[in-house]
Structure 1
């Protein structure tokens, strides 16, 4: 399997979230590896693409990713 870019890994995260979190841990690990390869410290997600785009949903997502070693911020509109 070829190495994913951050953008590709992020798109897979969105797809996983839409598919009821199917394989989310694998996609988070791929995102973490892509961030490290590209020298980035955090992932920037588009809140409009999240299934639960409210404060509690975003905080829950951030906490889940943080537990797996990925810092998440959200793009401003």
Structure 2
């Protein structure tokens, strides 16, 4: 897999979520690598682009990503 920018990695996560979480773990690993390269402490997502943008859906996403070593926050 080529080195993605942080924005490309986040977009890949959105695409994976829309495709029923297809290859989500690979995309999370790519996101984690992009964050390390760019010095980002957390990944920021837009709730409107998520399949479940309610509070419960966001908390599940945060929990899963945290297990993979990625801190997640959401725009207002």
Q: How far does residue 2 in structure 1 lie from its aligned partner after superposition?
A: 2.3
- Aligned-pair distance for 1:55? 0.5
In the aligned structure 2, how far is the partner of 1:44 from the partner of 1:75?
7
Matched with 2:32 is 32
Pair 1:42-2:42 in alignment: yes
Q: TM-score, normalised by structure 1?
A: 0.96
Q: Secondary structure at the match of 1:44?
A: strand
Instruction: Structure 2: give runs of 5+ residues left out of the alignment.
Output: none
Aligned residue-pair number: 76
- Per the alignment, residue 23 of structure 1 pairs with 23
In the TM superposition, what is the alpha-carbon distance from 1:39 to its structure 2 partner? 0.5
Structure 1: segments with no counterpart, 5+ residues: none
